[in-house]
Amino acid sequence: MMDRIYLDHNATTPIDPAVIAAMEPYLREIFGNPSSVEHEHGHVAALAVDSARERVAAAIGARASEIIFTGGCTEANNLAILGVARALPEKRHLITSSVEHPSILEPMRALVREGWRVTYLPVDEFGRVGLEALLSAITDDTALVSVMGANNEVGTLQPIRELGLICAERGILFHTDLAQFMAYGDIDVERDNIHVASLSAHKAYGPKGVGALYVRSRKPRVRLAPILFGGGQERGLRPGTLNTAAIVGMGEALSITRRSSKLDGTRLRTLCNIFRDQLMAQVSAVLLNGHPTERLPGNLSFSIEGVEPLALIRKLRATVSFSASSACATDKIETSHVLLAMFGNTRRARNAFRIAPGRFTTEKELNRALEQIVHEIGCLRAATGTQPDTAAHAT
């Protein structure tokens, strides 16, 4: 594994060594249940959770009391969508985009079965939601708008500050999935008009199996109906014994990203721009998917004429790890709903794959990966007798 080049950071990131060091004591000697505050073992664990809550809140400009720890961003998204809707049963309309993560789309579909109406905003060819589309979709019955901060497949950044402002001015709650955004983005929930936000640790160099939900406490105060029931932890919104070590790890990870996101982002954008330019110079009929500038610094989505993504991945699986679509999808092979929303049922949509370097990726590794990818593209085209045609590739 050490010899393989990992270029799938939108699927998950390696844990930063500083995060592992912060977690280790809570996996060994400080093992108490943070709910058992009447004795010292539990009290020390509870203090660690409190500290991590403050660090997570600081990373997004929130108050510690506004952070609810969850088992991951998928759970946070479910709690946000189901929790807001069921807490406002008098309003039966929800709005989201057509390129959201399944952990947004599936709760929305569940609510449709319970009697809610959902409007799915279209996106342009770059995967962006238009402000006019949101304005046209809002009704007096709208309870919640949910639009992700950054797309996990094509890297496009959404105009969440402007979308949030539209909602705030109309008294509508705005939720955003920030799973992909936290590692390299600058977020402030007050400035950016965000009322509810889902956070992931493992997309920001922290551990898997832990996430958080930001729930605004004032102007407006957001109310959620619980979707899980049990011992009452996390204000009754996420019952169950807290995973102290993972929570500590998330706090450390987001503290690191708060300090390093700008530097990491600048370095990765430079590396990705070089990779993009060299690939397009060496290979014909290459199309970049997603917005050309308003995108995650560590994401490149390409569609290449005559190259089937899974065939390329299998050719390189011993040396380079990258992705044909979201790792959170099932193992059924089908065209991504994100690419379908952007391009329709075209070869460009079917031929997309994703290159995603990260904090620890070196320029040397990316150059080695480029050489191997270019070589295998040539082999695949030769084997199939493909004659690249850029004009035909878009259809």
Cα dihedral across residues 4, 5, 9, 15: positive or negative: positive
pLDDT band at 324 (very low <50, low <70, confident <90, very high): confident
Report the chain's mean pLDDT, rounded to a whole number.
94
Which domains are assigned to the chain? 5-11+260-393 (3.90.1150.10), 17-256 (3.40.640.10)
pLDDT band at 227 (very low <50, low <70, confident <90, very high): very high
DSSP state of 290: S
Q: Is a pLDDT exceeding 80 seen at residue 214?
A: yes
Cα dihedral across residues 239, 245, 246, 252: positive or negative: positive
Question: What's residue 386's pLDDT?
Answer: 75
Predicted TM-score of the model (pTM): 0.94
* Buried/exposed code over 64-93 (b: 16+ C-beta within 10 A; e: otherwise): eebbbbbbbbbbbbbbbbbbbbbbbeebbb
- Write out pLDDT tens, residues 286-321: 999 999 999 999 999 999 999 999 999 999 999 999
CA dihedral 359, 363, 364, 365 (to 10 degrees): 40
Q: Is a pLDDT exceeding 60 seen at residue 4?
A: yes
Of 211, 133, 131, residue with least CA distance to 164:
131
- List, by residue number, the catalytic residues: 328
CA–CA distance, 105 with 98 (Å, rounded to integer): 8
